[in-house]
Structure 1
Amino acid sequence: MGDIIRLTAAELAEKLRSGDVSSAEATQAHLDRIAQVDGDVHAFLHVSDHAVETARDIDARRLAGEDLPELAGVPLAVKDVLVTTDMPSTSASKILEGYMSPYDATVVARARAAGLVPLGKTNMDEFAMGSSTEHSAYGPTHNPWDLDRIPGGSGGGSAAAVAAFEAPLALGSDTGGSIRQPAHVTGTVGVKPTYGGVSRYGAIALASSLDQVGPVTRTVLDAGLLHDVIGGHDPHDATSLTTEWPSFAAAAREGASGEVLRGLRVGVVKELPDDGFQPGVARSFRDALATLEAAGAEIVEISAPNFEYAVAAYYLILPAEASSNLAKFDSVRFGLRSEVAGGTVEDVMSVTRDAGFGPEVKRRIILGTYALSAGYYDAYYGSAQKVRTLIQQDFARAFAGVDVIATPSAPTTAFRLGEKIDDPLSMYLNDLTTIPANLAGVPGISIPSGLAHDDGLPVGIQFLAPAHEDARLYRVGAALEALLVDAWGGPLLDRAPALEGGAR
Structure 2
Amino acid sequence: MSVDTPSTLTVAAAAIRNRTISSVELTQAALERADASQPRLNAFLSIDHEHALDRARAADRALAAGHVPGPLHGVPLAHKDMFDVEGRITGCGSRIRAGHVARETSTVMARLEAAGSLSIGRLNMSEFAMGPTGHNHHHGRAINPIDPARVTGGSSSGSGAAVGGGVVLAALGSDTGGSIRLPAACCGTVGIKPTQGRVSRHGAMPLSFSQDCIGPLAANVEDAWLMLSLISGPDGIDPTCMAAPLGSLSEDLSSLRIGLATGAFTQNLSADVGGAMQQVASLLDKAVKEVRDVALGALEAVTELANAVAMTEAAAVHFDGMRERPEDYGPQVRMRISQGLAVPGPVYVRALQIRAVMLARFLDEVFGVCDVLMLPAMPFVAPLDREVDVGAGQRMNEVVSAMTSLTRPFSYLGLPVVTLPVAVGREGMPVAIQLVARPWREDLAASVARHLEHALALSAFLPSQASPTAA
- Contact persistence 2:16–2:74 (CA under 8 A): yes
Counterpart residue number, 2:403: 430
Counterpart residue number, 1:52: 53
- Go from structure 1 to structure 2 and tell me whether the alpha carbon gap of 1:384 and 1:135 turns closer, same or farther (over 3 Å shift): farther
Amino acid at match of 1:438: S
- Contact persistence 1:278–1:411 (CA under 8 A): yes
Question: How many residues are aligned here?
Answer: 464
Which of 459, 462, 466 does residue 493 from structure 1 map onto?
462
Matched position secondary structure for 2:29: helix
* Cα distance in 2 for residues equivalent to 1:58 and 1:20: 14
Matched position secondary structure for 1:480: helix
- Go from structure 1 to structure 2 and tell me whether the alpha carbon gap of 1:150 and 1:58 turns closer, same or farther (over 3 Å shift): same
Deviations 1:233-287 (A, max 9, x none): 02111211122333xxxx34x33xxx32x23211122225533112112211221
Deviations 1:120-140 (A, max 9, x none): 111111111111111352110
Matched position secondary structure for 2:292: strand
- Contact persistence 2:33–2:468 (CA under 8 A): no
Which of 414, 417, 436 does residue 444 from structure 1 map onto?
417
- Pairing of 1:74-473 with structure 2 (within 5 A): 74-246=75-247, 251-252=248-249, 254-255=250-251, 259-260=252-253, 262-271=254-263, 273-329=265-321, 349-350=323-324, 352-353=325-326, 355-371=327-343, 376-378=344-346, 380-397=347-364, 398-422=366-390, 423-452=396-425, 454-473=426-445
* Cα distance in 1 for residues equivalent to 2:404 and 2:389: 15
Matched position secondary structure for 2:462: helix
Counterpart residue number, 1:19: 19
* Cα distance in 2 for residues equivalent to 1:436 and 1:477: 20
- Go from structure 1 to structure 2 and tell me whether the alpha carbon gap of 1:159 and 1:460 turns closer, same or farther (over 3 Å shift): same
Amino acid at match of 1:132: T
Structure 1 spans left out of the alignment, 5+ residues: 331-348
Provide the TM-score with structure 2 as the length reference.
0.93
Displacement of 1:320: 0.4
- Go from structure 1 to structure 2 and tell me whether the alpha carbon gap of 1:382 and 1:307 turns closer, same or farther (over 3 Å shift): same
Matched position secondary structure for 2:386: coil
Matched position secondary structure for 1:76: strand
Displacement of 1:424: 3.6
Counterpart residue number, 2:456: 484
Deviations 1:78-105 (A, max 9, x none): 1012122343211111111121111111
- Contact persistence 2:92–2:127 (CA under 8 A): yes
- Pairing of 1:34-53 with structure 2 (within 5 A): 34-48=34-48, 49-53=50-54
* Cα distance in 2 for residues equivalent to 1:182 and 1:115: 26
Matched position secondary structure for 2:147: coil
* Cα distance in 2 for residues equivalent to 1:166 and 1:425: 32
CA-based RMSD of the aligned residues comes to: 2.0
Amino acid at match of 2:381: T
Amino acid at match of 2:280: A
* Cα distance in 1 for residues equivalent to 2:56 and 2:35: 18
- Go from structure 1 to structure 2 and tell me whether the alpha carbon gap of 1:363 and 1:390 turns closer, same or farther (over 3 Å shift): farther
- Contact persistence 1:311–1:429 (CA under 8 A): no
Matched position secondary structure for 1:399: coil
- Contact persistence 1:448–1:458 (CA under 8 A): yes
- Go from structure 1 to structure 2 and tell me whether the alpha carbon gap of 1:468 and 1:189 turns closer, same or farther (over 3 Å shift): same
Displacement of 1:39: 1.2
Matched position secondary structure for 1:455: helix
- Contact persistence 1:149–1:417 (CA under 8 A): yes
Identity of aligned residues (%): 31
Provide the TM-score with structure 1 as the length reference.
0.87
- Contact persistence 1:46–1:88 (CA under 8 A): no
Matched position secondary structure for 1:294: coil
- Go from structure 1 to structure 2 and tell me whether the alpha carbon gap of 1:502 and 1:113 turns closer, same or farther (over 3 Å shift): closer
* Cα distance in 2 for residues equivalent to 1:131 and 1:140: 12
Matched position secondary structure for 2:388: coil
Deviations 1:384-421 (A, max 9, x none): 33553443134211112211111111112111223213
Counterpart residue number, 1:346: none
Displacement of 1:26: 0.6
